[in-house]
């Protein structure tokens, strides 16, 4: 089985999973977070080198105050737990997105996690928090525009590689496979630049129920794809 080098996942369906069981939405997020930990182990064991997951978008602030507060509490706990997870998996971790919107203690936890795991090389894990692809591109282009103004970048010399170097994912290869749980057929402002030639796989399975078996189903479907990158074979 040909294993993708980089898998991106949209973790969707936590709230619906909880509602279907008569439980609060917050419990669905807790269960989803626990499942992410297990999926990290499964993905590493399969030999995947890069994993990027969409955990909290720039639009998710629109949810109820109760749900957002619960998510912030969960992030505080999860980011600290990631210290142990990163060591166990030899996993380098990076948070992509605009973390300046979070409380100072969460920002500090992000810095500590990235510093602690920076030399691990078993798998590279990008966690998208307060992430939106349009916002990522906007922030990147603001930086590039300033560098043009300062004479550090020549406009005529701007290439796709130049643009990529200003994105949150700079230096990381584009995803080979995107998995979206819960059956929704949209990208939801996720990695719009990076997903240009990524194979898409959508499953009705809700994220808390996404298992190693479901992961292997996605990879088997990936193996059936004919990746031409715009060319002809």
Residues labelled catalytic: 12, 60
Sign of the CA dihedral running 164, 168, 172, 174: negative
- Per the listing, tokens 């990027």 go with 52
How is 187-230 classified by DSSP, letter by letter?
Answer: --S-STTTTTT-EEEE-SS-GGG--HHHHHHHHHHHHT----TT
Structure tokens at 202: 């959508």
Say how far apart CA 7 and CA 39 lie, in whole Å: 11
């Amino acid at each position: 089985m040909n294993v993708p080098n980089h898998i991106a996942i949209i973790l969707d369906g936590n709230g619906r999973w909880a509602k279907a069981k008569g439980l609060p939405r917050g419990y669905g997020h807790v269960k989803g977070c626990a499942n992410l930990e297990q999926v990290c182990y499964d993905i590493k064991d399969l030999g995947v080198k890069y994993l990027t997951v969409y955990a909290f978008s720039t639009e998710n602030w629109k949810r109820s105050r109760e749900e957002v507060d619960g998510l912030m509490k969960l992030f505080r706990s999860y980011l600290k737990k990631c210290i142990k997870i990163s060591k166990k998996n030899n996993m380098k971790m990076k948070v992509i997105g605009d973390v300046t919107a979070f409380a100072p203690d969460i920002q500090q936890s992000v810095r500590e996690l990235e510093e602690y795991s920076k030399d691990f090389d078993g798998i590279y894990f990008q966690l998208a928090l307060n992430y939106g692809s349009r916002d990522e591109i906007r922030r990147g282009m603001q930086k590039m525009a300033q560098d043009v103004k300062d004479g550090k970048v020549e406009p005529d010399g701007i290439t796709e590689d130049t643009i990529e170097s200003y994105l949150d994912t700079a230096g990381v290869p584009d995803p080979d496979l995107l998995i979206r749980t819960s059956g929704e057929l949209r990208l939801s402002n996720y990695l719009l630049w990076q997903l240009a030639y990524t194979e898409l796989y959508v499953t009705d399975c809700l994220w808390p129920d996404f298992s190693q078996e479901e992961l292997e189903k996605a990879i088997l479907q990936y193996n059936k794809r004919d990746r031409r990158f715009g060319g002809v074979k």
